[in-house]
Amino acid sequence: MKILAALIRRDLTLAWRQGGGVGTAAGFFLTVVVLLPLGIGPDQVLLQRIAPGALWIALLLSVLLSADSIYQTDFEDGSLELMTMGPAPLEMVVLAKAFAHWLAAGLPLAILAPMLGFLLNLAPELVLPLTVAMVIGSVSLSLLASLGAAVIVGLRRGGVLVSLLILPLYVPVLIFGVSASRGALAGPDIFAPSLLILLAISLVALVSVPVASAAAIRAYLK
C-alpha cells in the first residue's frame, strides 16, 4: 500500500506541475461551457433543457483528452517496465494510476461542472443530483480512459485511437448519467434506478478494468 500511495502522489505531483493533459482537459471543458450558449443563442428554455446533457458531454470529452497521458510518460522513460517487475501487482498499479487520473482530472471537473451550470441556465434543483451523478460517473470515465491508454501504450499520438476505442464504452455512462442528473425534475422513479445503474457501471469498471489494462500492458511489453 505504501508503494501504491507513493505512486499516486507521484502522478498527482507530475500532473499539477506539468499541466499537459490535465490542463488541456480543464481548458477544453471551460471552452465548451462558455461557447455553447453563444452558439445556441439567447433561448433560456432551450439552454436549461440541454444543460445536463451538454455538461456531461463536456466532462466525457475532457476526461478523454487526458487519457493518453496516463501511461505515455512512464513508457517513454522506462518506468512502466519497472512497474511490471516491481513488488506491487500490475493490476494494483493500474488502479492507482487510474485513481490518480480521477483525482487530477475527473473529480475536479465533476465538481466544477455544476458550478458552471449557471452559464447554461441549469435549474438550481438539478445542481445536487448532477454533482452526485458526475462524481460517481467520473470514476468509470477515468477507469475506461485508463483501459484505452493501456491498449495504445507505446503508440505516439494515439489520442484519436483512444477516442475510437473508448467512446462506445462511454455511451452507457452518458445515458444513465444524464438520466440521473434530470432525476430531480423527472421524479424518484427515474433518479434512483439511473443512479444505481451508474454506480453499478463504476463498480464493474473498478473490478474489470485493472485486470484488462494490466493484460494489455503485459502483452505490449513482452
Q: Which amino acid is at 213?
A: S
Domain boundaries, the chain: 2-221
Q: What does the alpha-carbon distance between residue 110 and residue 141 come to, in Å, rounded to a whole number? A: 11
Q: What does the alpha-carbon distance between residue 144 and residue 138 come to, in Å, rounded to a whole number? A: 10
pTM of the predicted structure, to 2 decimals: 0.85
The vertex-212 CA angle with 92 and 25, nearest 5°, equals: 80
Which is nearest to 54 in space by CA: 137, 120, 106?
120
pLDDT for the residue 18:
63
Per-residue pLDDT of the chain (222 residues; tens, 9 = 90+): 777 787 788 877 777 776 555 667 777 888 888 888 888 877 778 888 888 888 898 888 888 887 777 777 777 777 777 777 777 788 888 888 889 888 888 888 888 887 888 888 888 888 888 889 999 999 999 899 888 888 887 666 656 677 777 888 899 999 998 888 877 666 666 678 888 999 999 999 999 998 998 888 888 776
What's the length of the chain?
222
Q: What is the DSSP string of 160-211?
A: HHHHHHHHHHHHHHHHHHHHHHTHHHH-HHHHHHHHHHHHHHHHHHHHHHHH
Per-residue cell: 88: 506491487
pLDDT for the residue 173:
92
pLDDT for the residue 203:
93
